[in-house]
Copies of this chain bind each other. A is one copy, B any other.
């Protein structure tokens, strides 16, 4: 019997593994799931008779590599920096690989070897990156083949909380890696094109110049992510007036989060030691000038940065003004201390459902006229296990896996990302069956 090897079985793998198991009988495969924590792998397999769980060693890759060589397809869900090491072994063994992660330079360097081995290593086929690439390129290709000339492209995606589960003033709960949430926008300058000019925004400005976005009557704000200029080449969009990829949040979130950024409360570059009995308000004063020591923390923030009433209420709701209670961990970077707080405050609770929102805007010229088309989708999760995040990361991967195992394949070899019709023509229609339906509209400008 053919087999699919899933490496890594963390929270974001729930839907992927379930879907692969659900399809195992009809497609005639078994699903072998490995994780550093055997019980996590076992739980995901949940006794399915076509499933098998095993333990990934933390010390060596002997078992992992043996399993890779025996598999017909590898789904690499390990931490991103490990994908290339998985892919190297798989390419040598002639086994194709799928990952949801951004293509690294190390992975790119395996392209020639993969082509020589006749193996497809398909990256960036989750939500973002993944569904964003496919849904955007489908429209871009349509516009171009219809004689349009692309002038602007903007694309924003956010993992949020469903309206019915939204019961905090940030309108946000955590459906993915909390560390990435705390460090969002802080990894480096954002570069993009806007109004015909190359633009750079340093990390302390990205939450300030926001893009207003409306989806299904709800107002969001988007901030730019890292290197959008690379998409001139990746999406073949030369001479754009506007080229921005970013993240969206419910209106108000970014304005308030910016205060944490301004004050340095999400810095990850220096470890500090606070006294073990420090309160949150005292901790917060680490980021405020000494001349504000006589004020309340809320007043001190107003005297230091341009905040507002709603923001200070949000900071207070997080507990940052608390004079009785303090951080549980008192040694670490500010980002680490804040992360430990947010994991509790922004937890998806039993019965909560998350939500994904994606929005693209395409501006183009055709026959002397100028048009703007938008394409958007939103999807609510099914609960705290099969979240919208888990669904939208796992389903494109599972659909791609099925197409490669029993559907004839994508007709490509080498190290790829899904930006061409051979991918989006297969994956997008299947995703619609799961509710990932893009709604388009167009206006003349």
A179 within 8 A of B: no
A195 at the interface (CB under 8 A from B): yes
A221-B189 Cα distance, complex, nearest whole Å: 28
Closest residue of B by beta carbon distance from A226: B270
Question: CA–CA, A368 to B204, complex, Å?
Answer: 45
A276 at the interface (CB under 8 A from B): no
- Given A267-B189, A270-B188; A289-B209 close (CB under 8 Å): yes
Mask: chain A, 185-213; 1 = CB below 8 Å from B; 0 = not: 00011010011011111101100010000
Q: Out of B202, B274, B289, which one reaches A204, CB within 8 Å? A: B202
Q: Does A18 contact B (CB under 8 A)?
A: no
Copies of this protein in the assembly total 2
With a cutoff of 8 Å between Cβ atoms, the chain B residues found around residue A273 in the complex are: 198
Instruction: List the B side residues contacting A267 at CB < 8 Å.
Output: 189, 200, 202
Complex Cα spacing A285 to B293, Å: 38
Q: In the complex, which residues of chain B have a beta carbon less than 8 angstroms from the beta carbon of A264? A: 189, 200-202, 205
The count of chain A contact residues (Cβ–Cβ below 8 Å) is 33
From B188, B198, B199, B274, give the contact of A198 (CB < 8 A): B274
- Smallest distance from the beta carbon of A281 to chain B beta carbons, Å? 12
The reply to whether A285 and B209 contact each other, CB–CB distance below 8 Å, is no
Whether A290 pairs with B202 at a CB distance below 8 angstroms is no
Least Cβ distance of A134 to chain B in Å?
Answer: 27
A270-B227 contact in complex given A205-B264, A289-B209, C-beta closer than 8 Å: yes
Are A188 and B269 interface neighbours, CB within 8 A? yes
Most B CB contacts (10 A, CB to CB) among A200, A229, A282 go to A200
Q: Shortest 3 CB-CB distances between A and B: which pairs?
A: A202-B264, A195-B290, A204-B204
